[in-house]
Structure 1
Amino acid sequence: MDMDDNVPKSANDPLALLLKQDLDPLSVAELHERIALLEGEINRTRAKIDLSVNHKASAEALFRK
């Protein structure tokens, strides 16, 4: 699987724009900062997934009673 398979198709999609950004002009410190920000976004996304899964499980448990 090619990494481009996961790139959103819309040219204006924020993720697509992020993946196309040229990293060459960035310093090592800026690259570390970028990684920290992206890891924060990954954690935020995972928390949303957990919340959604837990919400769905709670709703299913409620309706099984």
Structure 2
Amino acid sequence: MDIEVGGLLGLVLLILDVWAIIKVIQSSADIGIKVLWVVVILVLPVIGLVLWFFLGPKG
């Protein structure tokens, strides 16, 4: 079961993932939490983005 994301949807996902990583780095969370969120977003781009949106560090 291969799921391919390409074209415009892939570009949008890439932009949102980069935006999420920047927001994680700019947050006031502990370094370990930041590293964990960046790894989750990089390893699981779609699920990591959704998880970060609902559960990630705020501010």
TM norm structure 1? 0.36
TM norm structure 2? 0.39
Which has the higher relative contact order, 1 or 2, with Cα contacts under 8 A spaced 6 or more apart?
A: 2
> Which protein has the larger Cα radius of gyration, Structure 1 or Structure 2?
1
